[in-house]
Structure 1
Amino acid sequence: MKRLIILTGIAAGAALPAHAQRVQVTPYVEASQVVAADLNGGDVLTYSTLGAGIDASVQSRRVEVQVSYRYEHRFDYQNKLNNDHTHSGLATVKATVAPGLTLEAGGIATRTRSDIRGNVQNSQVGNFSNSAQVFSGYVGPSLATHLGPMFVNGAYRFGYTKVEAPGQTGVAPGQPRLDYYDDSKVHVATASVGVKSGTVLPVGITASGSYTREDAGQLDQRFEGKWGRGDVVLPVLRGLALAGGIGYEQIKITQRDALLNGAGQPVVDRNGRFQTDPNSPRRIAYDLDGVFWDAGVIWKPSRRTFLEARVGRRYGSMSYTGSLSYQAGPGSGIQVGVYDTVQTFGQQLNGQLSTLPTALASTTDPFGNQFSGCIYGTTGAAAGGCMNGVFASAATSAYRARGVTAVAVAGRGGTRFGIGGGWARRDFIAPSNGTAFTTNGTSDTSIYAQAFASTDVGANGSLQGSILGSYYNSDLPGNDGIYGWGANAAYTHRFGRLGATLSGGVFGFERDGDSSASAQALLGLRYGF
């Protein structure tokens, strides 16, 4: 496949300078034939697809960009397809506009589960259920500079998230109906100032603050949070320091009631979303006002290793947070995060997008799972991250999110490996005095793991495969706990600008009294310009 590659230097014929620019742009069109067979004795579904997309990257001293986007339209024959088109893509942008001032942006288009109790659809082939198209993006500047011995940091981010209405979810009839997520706009501003240890004082001191405002489309939901804190870092040994902080925060979450019909059931619009009662007072879902604290250790024995672990009290109970990063080599590394925060689906998705690296491993995943799970980086210094906990379901209520996520990557030559997994728990926050079923006080749990490998086969071929597994559980009525699993492999051969891919996979889910499994195959041709 042909790619447009531009190397820009100071003068033609000179050695490549440090500020050279590398640009790769690959627009393409593709056509595929797909077969999906229900292994539980169901039908065999056959259809064709036409798609178009672009893979692009820019790497220079001032600009880092990576974009991968694909649109697919599906053409059925005899059996009607529930979804006739999909969008799939991820973009990350980081540009230095002035010394210390950068502009960052990112976006994602993929699919999310709709109801935590519903079916698990690990593949985007065939008539998938409990799945909705999601779009999310963010943009904003960040500043990192110094005033004498003090460092000064600041950032602002605007984010937008939109989720389309799902079809069938697989939840048994008669269970409480959950609302469908619509959209949200979120503003986040942060600032910090301080001095490092050994510059002015033996200890490092930092003062920081943050403000968050989100307005969601469903039931006129509003989230407003602000906090300020002070931190002290005390070095005790080479590469080891004790850290502690104390702060004060306010969080208030409100929304209105759903409009009810004469039978006391929520009135829904043509997309199945609850309609807002215009006469409802603004109900308080969460109103926090108080002091929080944490303490722990920071360990940095080398430039390649960093560990921070803290324990404290926040949101009315004990809180545990931390992070670990280890760069084993230029293309190999590990990244682990432990988090505890009060937020929403839109905030969490935007926040995780902003932490993804700008150099991402591209995969040939014809079944469409590339951006809904673990996303792998190409350098050991930025291993990537997992989106599984966010996409467990597009919940409309706010929640306290706690969990652990880990990613490891390794690469050498034309061979790359990646593994990721984690645990996530959401404790939901909603008004308890409304006029419809409330998720307040309920919780759900997600456990997930997946692995990916790819290698070059000769000069023009590549082979890749992946496996994944997940478990979702909730104390919502109608939940039995559900396991999801899948595996696929694909071989791609390039004939100049034309590439051919042959892929096969098996996917399914299981829960008490219900199971599903399907075998899927795809033959596709891609032409790159």
Structure 2
Amino acid sequence: MKRARSLILGGLLAGSCLAGATAAEAQVLPYQVGSDDRPAAPSGGGSDGHGSARGVGSGVRTTIRPYLEVTQNLLAQITPGNDVVTYTALAAGVDATLAGRRTQGQISVRYERRFVEKGQVGDSDTISGLARVSHQLIPRTLSIDAGALAARTRVEANGSASLNPLSVNDAISQVYSVYAGPNLTTHAGDVAINANYLAGYTKLTQKNAYQPAAGQPRIDLFNHSLMQSAQVSAGTKAGTVLPVGLVASAGWDREDISNLDQRIDDKRAGVQATLPVSRTVQLVGDVGWEHIRVSSRDALRDANGNPVIGSDGRYVTDKSQPRRIAYDSDGLTWDVGVMWRPSRRTSLSAFIGRRYDSTTYFGSFSYAPNTRSSLNISVFDGISGFGSSLSNALRQVPTDFATGGATGCGIGAAGGSCVNGALSSVSSSVFRQRGVSATYGFAMGRLRLGVGAGYVRRRFIAAPGTVLAQANGTVDQNWYVTGGVSGQLGRDASFSVAVYDAWYDSGNALLGTTNSYGIYASYYRRLADRLTATASVGLDGVSRDLAADQLEATGLIGLRYTL
């Protein structure tokens, strides 16, 4: 069955992070069994009163909960056809909350095998999950941060992708992303010294990259990349040595993309000054130097001058040719802004400056008035590839996210982030990315509410004279919003309801725009110690300007046994 062509967010359930109770992904049951084996409030990270999971409004403790699961699934196409797919899924996974003296984090990973009984698709298997861990090697001095994401996706002809854990179509792929690195915080007298380094790897497994129809532009799908980032700074606070605070810093970022040996190399150095104007407000100014270069090679050409396509459907790189420059900026950068922190629960930063030969805007707002709610907004601007964009989004997911299956947004007790924007396009080309993302989580008693939203605008960068040159200057856009509510119904039952809407504009009239939407509801009930049943139903639709609209009904029943 054909699936939506634009980014499908899935349901962000109440206070959940990458956890959903939608029928379109309900084979990942969004609950944990508490210490007395009652089902906890689904997907909100909420506790059943015994601290079984972490999230907005819940307690914490270290728990490790492996499980086995079986579900019977149905996908029925309502329009434009009437195809029906049924399959049984067997799964094994583990949800863990790490809340030790030196270690904080969440781990949720799942392997699933699907056996199709009806429908013109084959059996399949998938790995999905999310992990975020921070460990202090030396308290308050040296720590290691790490994160990982595995998600089942459906890649469409216009280069868009959807988190699509239920699909059994053969045209599915997997996205894997992992990063890790140390952080150092120390001082020499009045001088504070900070340094960090991380390395990340991202891989998209796509058996056959997109082959366009006659007259359509070709989309070269991302394969894999290695990203590295290093920062070091030294400075003093205002009032210790001078009336203003001064920080000198240097940094380096690099991403090596396998497709046509694309490379982003960014080196920078600068000095930042902070001037307190009140107890809660500081003015900030930064001036520095930056050199950023984007380069690549061309595709191998045949005797007729046509680019050679490999067995995986991607361009074959001509390593005998020199690298070609797609973007090169070298010179002065600056920004000015304000930082406001009236309390430890509220902070705001807003900046305007000059970077990438143009005006730049960035900032953030965080508000967590109590342990029951948190609001986070981020405005960003940067040059990256698919791999570094996904790694950066993953790094913003808090270590106290609620366990569950990957759907897009992560919300913890004091923070939140979405990876949906980073996943919305899997084109291999480098891009300048601007946008805004926001998450809100709220908990009251046994009820959980969660919302995630964002906008991403990409302008692609490619070297002239190469096969990617047709993408240079192309702009795509993605908007998304998703939300849900979940809670407990007495001692032994719980529920969740989720809705989503997402728009994707490819920026090319031949590839078009799409609008995806859906609503899902799930019910969970404890049958015996460690054994819980679920039932889910949902509707999933997509409107296209270049193809027929589509609407599908989904449903499942399942059992999970927690070991």
Please confirm whether the aligned pair reaches a TM-score higher than 0.5, indicating the same fold: yes
Q: CA 1:473/1:130 → structure 2, altered by over 3 Å: closer, same or farther? A: farther
Match of 1:353 in 2: 394
How far, CA to CA, are the matches of 2:194 and 2:385 in structure 1?
25
How far, CA to CA, are the matches of 2:521 and 2:115 in structure 1?
24
The structural deviation recorded for 1:122 is 5.8
C-alpha contact (below 8 Å) 2:84/2:119 kept by paired residues: no
* 1:257-296 matches, cutoff 5 A: 257-262=298-303, 264-296=305-337
* 1:302-317 matches, cutoff 5 A: 302-317=343-358
Q: CA 1:253/1:115 → structure 2, altered by over 3 Å: closer, same or farther? A: farther
The structural deviation recorded for 1:347 is 0.8
Match of 2:117 in 1: 77
Q: CA 1:437/1:322 → structure 2, altered by over 3 Å: closer, same or farther? A: closer
Moved more, 492-501 or 428-437: 428-437
Pairing 1:68–2:108 present: yes
Q: Percent identity?
A: 39
1:196 maps to amino acid: K
Pairing 1:55–2:87 present: no
- 1:219 alignment partner, SS class: helix
Match of 1:528 in 2: 562
Pairing 1:412–2:453 present: no
**Which residues of structure 2 form unaligned runs of 5+?**
1-31, 37-58
* 1:231-270 matches, cutoff 5 A: 231-262=272-303, 264-270=305-311
The structural deviation recorded for 1:21 is 9.4
Pairing 1:33–2:65 present: no
How far, CA to CA, are the matches of 2:553 and 2:262 in structure 1?
42
Q: CA 1:113/1:223 → structure 2, altered by over 3 Å: closer, same or farther? A: farther
TM-score normalised to the size of structure 2? 0.85
* 1:368-517 matches, cutoff 5 A: 370-377=405-412, 379=413, 381-382=414-415, 384-435=416-467, 438-476=470-508, 478-494=510-526, 495-514=528-547, 515-517=549-551
The structural deviation recorded for 1:57 is 1.3
Match of 2:26 in 1: none
How far, CA to CA, are the matches of 1:281 and 1:497 in structure 2?
61
The structural deviation recorded for 1:477 is 5.1
Describe the superposition over 1:451-481 as per-residue Cα deviations: whole angstroms up to 9, x where unpaired.
Answer: 0221011112221121111111122352221
The structural deviation recorded for 1:430 is 0.8
Match of 2:143 in 1: 102
Q: CA 1:262/1:516 → structure 2, altered by over 3 Å: closer, same or farther? A: farther
Q: How many residues align?
A: 506
1:519 maps to amino acid: A
Pairing 1:164–2:199 present: no
The structural deviation recorded for 1:90 is 0.3
- 1:389 alignment partner, SS class: helix
C-alpha contact (below 8 Å) 1:121/1:130 kept by paired residues: no
C-alpha contact (below 8 Å) 2:429/2:471 kept by paired residues: yes
How far, CA to CA, are the matches of 1:113 and 1:298 in structure 2?
41
**Which residues of structure 1 form unaligned runs of 5+?**
6-19, 364-369
More strand as a share of residues: 1
Higher relative contact order (CA 8 A, sep 6+): 2
Q: CA 1:150/1:115 → structure 2, altered by over 3 Å: closer, same or farther? A: farther
Q: CA 1:202/1:62 → structure 2, altered by over 3 Å: closer, same or farther? A: same
The structural deviation recorded for 1:83 is 6.7
Q: CA 1:437/1:476 → structure 2, altered by over 3 Å: closer, same or farther? A: farther
How far, CA to CA, are the matches of 1:159 and 1:182 in structure 2?
14
- 1:39 alignment partner, SS class: strand
How far, CA to CA, are the matches of 1:508 and 1:209 in structure 2?
48
